[in-house]
Structure 1
Amino acid sequence: MRDADRSQNAILLAARGEFAEHGLGGARMDRIAERAGLNKRLIYYYFSDKESLFQAVLEQAYRHIWEKEQELNLLELQPKTAVRRLVEFTWTYYLENPEFLTLLNSASLHRARHLEQSEQARQLNSPLIAMLGEVLVRGRAAGRFRGGVDPVQLYVSIAGLSHFYLSNNSTLSTIFGRDLMTPKAHAERLSHMCDVILGYVLRG
Structure 2
Amino acid sequence: MSRQHCPRCTRPAERCLCALIPHIASRTRVLILQHPSEVRHALNTARLAALGLSNAELLVGEVFESLPALLQQSGYRPCLLFPGEPAQPLLQFAEQHSEKPLLLVVPDGTWRKARKLLYLNPLLADLPRVVLATGLQSRYRLRKAPMLGALSTIEAIVAALNTLEPDGCFDALLAPFDVLIDGQIEAMGEKTYQRNHGHAEGVPKPAE
Q: Give the TM-score of the pair, scaled to structure 1.
A: 0.30
Q: Give the helix-richer structure, 1 or 2.
A: 1
Q: Give the TM-score of the pair, scaled to structure 2.
A: 0.30
Flag the structure with larger Rg. Answer: 1
Q: Give the strand-richer structure, 1 or 2.
A: 2
